Structure 1
C-alpha cells in the first residue's frame, strides 16, 4: 500500500484515467484538480472550475448535457460500455444520459418511479442495462435503463426478463438508514450496499432475491466495492477499509480490518518522558494521530488495477486530504 497527500483540504471523491497515470480529485468544493504521476510525486496539470457547487464525483471536461434537474447532482457513474452515464440528484430522480450525434450533445431520460428522496449512490450491472441506486429515503433499488435508440434489446437476467426503460426490478425498503454506496458483484447476480446504520447488505438474485443484512459495530460505512465474486471491501467513518465475505444467503461476515496500524513513538518513550508529556499536555495522549493510514473518514473507494472479478489494487480518498492505494490479497 502507498499513501499520497494532495494538501490539507478534504477529498470528497476521485476518478482515475484509463491507464491510471492521472487522477482527478475534488477538494470538497466546486473545483476538480487533475494530477499526473511523475516519478514518485503527483503534479497538478489541470484545474477545472466550471462547476458552481461542491463536486461529489469526478468529471473530466465540459460538454453540453441536457440533464433537466432543478436540484443538486449528487453522484454520477459511467456505464460499462461508456455509451451512457447515470446522474443521481436531489430532485428525487435519476437522469440517464446518452449521446445524440446529430446535435452533438447529450440527452437524458428520467427515472422517477417510487424515488422519494435524494439519490446518493449508483452502480451499473455488467450488462450495461441495469442500474442500482441507493437513496436517502432508506431504499435500495434496481432499474432498467434500456434505451432502444442506442442499444440492442437486452436478454433476461437473474433480476428479471422484461426491461423497458425505468422498470423497477428490485426495491428493498428496510435498509436501516441512508444508502451511501452500492456495488454489483462481478457476475451482476448480487448487489451489496452500505447504509448509515452501520450495516452491509447483500441482495442475491441467484437465490430468489434473498436479502442478507449484517449490522456491524463499526461507525457508518460510506463506500462499498466488490473485489472478487465473494469478497467485499467497505470503508467509512472508521478511517480504514474492512474485508467482508458473502458466500450465500445468511452467510455474510466481517473478516478483518485491512490496514496496518501506524507506528507510534509511545512505546519507545521513557517513563520520565511520558510523565513530562502528561504534565505539558494535561492528557494521557502523546499525540492526536489515529493508528490508521487515513486520519479521517474515507469517502470513496475505486478500482486501480484488475477487474471486479479479481481486483489487484484499489484506492481510497478521505477527509484528511489523503489518497491511499491498497494492494488486495485474498
Structure 2
C-alpha cells in the first residue's frame, strides 16, 4: 500500500481514502462525517513520514503590513531597527520572535534610511523631510541629535562608514552629504560631494578603507568618489582606485548599458571590485586597473528577471542580489566572466513562507471547501512582495554565513547560506 502521508500531501486525500476503504466507513461527500476525515488527514500529515511541511526554512518575521524602506540589526543582533513611514521602530528579540519595544520619533515625513553602527550602536536615520538624526542611547531613552545636512531635497539613503567616524547621506539635491562630528561645536556637520552628479542619489556603499564611497544615481551612473576629510580620516593605502585622494576626487565613473537607474552598489570585501545593479535587470562588476585608467575588466550580466534593488558580496567570487522577483539570487564568477547561478530559496509550494504558519487541518479544510490550499495571489516565495534591502547579517573574513532582507510586504527574513 502507498504511504498515505505522501499521497495526501500531493492533494489526493479523498482518492486515496476511498480506494483503500471499501466499503467506506462514512459516505464521501457527507459533511457530517468531515470531522472524522479531517482527523485522519491531520494524523497522517503530522506523522514522521510527512517531511514536506517540515523542511528547513528561512527565519521570516512578518512585522506589519506596511512597506519597509530599510532595516538594520544591532551588533549583538538582539535589536532590529525598521523604517516604517515617518518613524523608526525598534524590535527586541525574544525567543524566535521580535517584539516592538521602542519608537524613534522626530522625522516629519517618510524615513528612507536607517543604519546601526556595528561597534558603538549609534543609530543614524534620514528622511524625505531633508533631515538626518544621530540617536544615542541614554539612561532615559534614545537621544536624537540633528545633523546639518544643508540639502533642499529629500534625503534618500544613509550608511555609516566602517570606521564609524563618518556617515554618508544621499539626496534628491544631486549631492552626497558626508557627515562627521565636530568636537569644538559638539555637533554633526557635513561636506558635499557634488560634481559630476547630475541626478538623485539612490544608493551608497563604503569601501573598507572608509574613504572611498560608491554611489548610484538616477542619471544611470555608478561612481566611486573620495570622501577624505582632513583631521578625521587617516590617509589610505594606495590602491587600484587611486593614491592621492583629496575630497571629491572621482576614482571611477561607470554607465549602465541601457541607461537605467542604478539601484544598488557594493564593494567586494577586499575593495578591489565594485558591483552595481541597474533597472535594466543587469548586474555589472568592475575591476579597476590603475588611477585614471580604464578598468581591466567590466562585466555585465544581463538577466531575464525583474530588476534587482540591492546586492551584497559573499567573498570575492559571489554576489547575492534581490529585488522585484521577491527572492534572492546568486551570481558567481571572476574577472574572466560572471553568470547567474540561480535562486537561493527552495520553494515547497504556493505561499511557502506563510504555508508553514497554517495548521495541516486548516490546509485540508480549505482544499475541501474551496478546492485550493492558498489564495491564487499567494507567491511561492517567502517574501510576498518586492525586496527593498539586502544586508549582511553574519560573516567571517568577508564570507557571508547569514544575510537579511526586508521588503514591501512588511517582512524581515534572515537567510542561512
Paired with 2:216 and 2:243, the residues of 1 have a C-alpha distance of 22
Which residue among 68, 82, 93 is the counterpart of 1:25?
82
Paired with 2:242 and 2:386, the residues of 1 have a C-alpha distance of 37
User: Structure 1, residues 266-299: CA drift from partner, whole Å, max 9, x if none?
Assistant: xx9xxxx989847xx9xxx953210111000000
- Whether 1:167 and 2:253 are equivalent positions in the alignment is no
Which residue among 61, 68, 72 is the counterpart of 1:11?
68
- Whether 1:188 and 2:271 are equivalent positions in the alignment is yes
Which residue among 324, 333, 345 is the counterpart of 1:246?
333
- Whether 1:144 and 2:220 are equivalent positions in the alignment is no
1:44-83 maps to which residues of 2 (within 5 A)?
A: 44-58=100-114, 60=123, 61=135, 62-83=144-165
Structure 2 match to 1:320: 409
Structure 2 match to 1:222: 309
SS of the aligned residue for 1:63 comes to strand
Structure 2 match to 1:127: 209
Which residue among 288, 300, 308 is the counterpart of 2:389?
300
| Structure (1 or 2) with the greater helix fraction | 2
* Larger radius of gyration between Structure 1 and Structure 2: 2
Structure 2 match to 1:157: 239
Structure 2 match to 1:259: 345
Say whether the 8 Å CA contact 1:277–1:286 is kept in structure 2: no
Paired with 1:100 and 1:286, the residues of 2 have a C-alpha distance of 56
Give the unaligned 5+ runs of structure 1: none
Structure 2 match to 1:234: 321
TM-score (norm 1): 0.91
Higher relative contact order (CA 8 A, sep 6+): 1
- Whether 1:117 and 2:199 are equivalent positions in the alignment is yes
RMSD of aligned residue pairs (Cα, Å): 2.2
Structure 2 match to 1:199: 282
Say whether the 8 Å CA contact 2:282–2:302 is kept in structure 1: yes
User: Structure 1, residues 91-136: CA drift from partner, whole Å, max 9, x if none?
Assistant: 0000101111111111111000110100000001111110000000
Paired with 1:306 and 1:274, the residues of 2 have a C-alpha distance of 42
C-alpha displacement at 1:259, in angstroms?
0.7
Structure 2 match to 1:288: 377
User: Structure 1, residues 197-224: CA drift from partner, whole Å, max 9, x if none?
Assistant: 0000001115852211111000010001
Say whether the 8 Å CA contact 1:139–1:175 is kept in structure 2: no
Say whether the 8 Å CA contact 1:140–1:175 is kept in structure 2: no
C-alpha displacement at 1:174, in angstroms?
3.2
Paired with 1:115 and 1:128, the residues of 2 have a C-alpha distance of 20
Give the unaligned 5+ runs of structure 2: 1-57, 116-122, 124-134, 136-143, 352-359, 361-365
Structure 1 match to 2:99: 43
Structure 2 match to 1:178: 261
Paired with 1:308 and 1:175, the residues of 2 have a C-alpha distance of 32
- Please say which of residues 206-215 and 236-245 is displaced more in the overlay: 206-215
Moved over 6 A (4+): 273-276
Structure 2 match to 1:89: 171
The count of corresponding residues between Structure 1 and Structure 2 is 317
TM-score (norm 2): 0.72
C-alpha displacement at 1:64, in angstroms?
2.7
